[in-house]
Amino acid sequence: MSSVGELEELTARNAQAQARAHAGDFRGAAGEFRALARDFTRLAGADDPRTLGVRLNLARVLGTAKQAGKAIEVCVPLLRDQARVLGPDHDDVLETTQLLANLRYQAGDAEGAAEDLERLLAALSRVLMPTHDRIAKVKRDIAFLKRTT
């Protein structure tokens, strides 16, 4: 199979893993996303946006499966790689930052979640109008987290 054909197969497997997650099979989806991350890295490279996307899918499904610790372990290096490859204001970087804050809160780390949201707020302030609803929500979330610490 050519690398183009292999990449098409991986893309189809990614869609199947997403469908598995939507159907509630988080364990199966997580296993497939782990395998896909290895396979995409081998074929397309670690910095390929598709590889980064699969890693984000893995973090999402682990978080949905209430495995916050494992999801955080995926998110931290993913966020570093996304910011380096895609730039600090890319939508995927913003999404991963939000996900990481949510995961830290689920894991009982309100202070770490607030720090992540502060970074998210700084990025959102660069790309959105100051009156944007998302900025207001992040500010409210930060205030809530700071009251709980």
Q: Which fold has domain 3-148?
A: 1.25.40
Q: Cα separations (Å) of 86 from 44, 81, 117? A: 16, 8, 19
Kindly list the domain boundaries of the chain, sorted by start residue: 3-148
117: exposed, middle or buried (C-beta count within 10 Å: 0-12, 13-18, 19+)?
Answer: buried
**Per-residue pLDDT reduced to its tens digit, 9-65:** 999 999 999 999 999 999 999 999 999 999 999 999 999 999 999 999 999 999 999
Closest CA to 102 of 86, 113, 90: 113
Closest CA to 32 of 50, 55, 52, 7: 55
**Per-residue pLDDT reduced to its tens digit, 69-102:** 999 999 999 999 999 999 999 999 999 999 999 9
Closest CA to 123 of 76, 86, 88: 88
Q: How many angstroms separate the first and last alpha carbons of the chain?
A: 54
**Per-residue pLDDT reduced to its tens digit, 87-141:** 999 999 999 999 999 999 999 999 999 999 999 999 999 999 999 999 999 999 9
H/E element, 80: helix 68-86
- Asked if residues 61 and 75 have their Cβ atoms less than 8 Å apart, the reply is no
- Asked if residues 71 and 48 have their Cβ atoms less than 8 Å apart, the reply is no
